[in-house]
Amino acid sequence: MKRSMCPAAALVALSGCASYEWRNDQANANWEADLNDCRVSALSLYPKTIVQEREIDRAATDAMAAEQRRQQEAARTYSASATCNRAGRSVQCEAYGSLPASQVVVVQPPPVVYRTRTVDVNAPDRDGYTQTCVASRGWRRVRVGS
């Protein structure tokens, strides 16, 4: 088993070392100028559009649900005490305590906790346009390294 995993692990390790860069075979190519022009064009076509996204915070929601379950279980336990007084031949007792375990307890669904994050919704389109733009100017991504 170990022998079959070693070549696979080596292949994964070697592929992780590779990186990419943009190259152009034209003599007068200027990466910084072309990239800047493409970014300016992309920004005019896809301006920054910042929005607030709301998503469920799973960890906080799960923690609140666990706390609510704990509180509901505590409400179902029964502990009682009694005080009795003798009055002549009769005994009179008063019981004190919480709900018995057989009593119905209304279970509320746990609240959902949300978190918000700020997102530029046009960023992926802007990045895609920039890459297409520099490619149209003769630049291509090549793999470098092992």
Task: Please list the residues that pair with 115 across neighbouring strands.
Answer: 55
Overall pTM surpassing 0.85 (yes/no)? no
Per residue in 59-94, pLDDT (tens digit) is 998 998 888 888 777 766 655 566 677 776 766 666
Per residue in 92-122, pLDDT (tens digit) is 666 665 555 555 556 677 788 899 999 999 9
Per residue in 38-66, pLDDT (tens digit) is 999 999 999 999 999 998 899 998 998 88
